[in-house]
Amino acid sequence: MKAECVALAIQEVLMVVIASQSRSLHNIKLTEMVTRIAASRLANGTLRQPALRQSLIVKRNASGGGGYNEPTGYLFAEKPTPPGQKRQKGDWENIWYFGMFGGLALGAVLYIYKPKEDIGSWAEKEARKRLDERGEWRYKPAASN
C-alpha cells in the first residue's frame, strides 16, 4: 500500500513538473514534493488517480462547448462569388475600415504635431529666454555692402 502511494506521488510530481515550466516549481526539491504528496495520500487513504491528472486530461471551454470549425478550403470560409456578381460586404466592414484607418490617420497627425516635451527642447527655450533677458548673445548678421 505504501509503495503504491509513493508510486502515485512520484507520478503526480512528474506530471506537475512536465505540465508547468515555472522556475519557482523547479526550486522545490523533488524528494520534498514526493514525501509531501505521499504523506498526504497516506493520511487520506486515497489510492485513486490524482486529481491533477484528471484536470489535465479534461479540456474545458469557458463558452460551455467545443468550437471546432471544419476547414472548407476557402479563405475565411467564404465561398467565391459566381462570375459577374459582386461580393456583398458585411454590415460591420465599413465601420471597421473607417475606424481602423481613420484612427491610424488621426494617430499619425497627432504624433506629427505633438508638442516637444523633452528636456533638450525645454532647456533650449529656457536658455534663449534667459540670454534675451540679459541682453547677451544675440545673433546679429553682418551688415551687407
State residue 128's pLDDT score: 87
- Could you tell me the pLDDT band of residue 111, with boundaries at 50, 70 and 90? very high
- Within 13 Å and on the Cβ side, how many CA atoms surround 67? 5
Kindly compute the dihedral angle of the four CA atoms of residues 27, 32, 34, 37, in this order, to the nearest 10 degrees: -100
Judged by average pLDDT, the poorest of 23-27, 58-62, 82-86, 135-139 is: 23-27
The whole-chain average pLDDT of the chain stands at 75
**Taking the domains of the chain in order of start, what are their residue ranges?**
2-57, 93-134
Position 56 pLDDT exceeds 90 = no
pLDDT at 132: 86
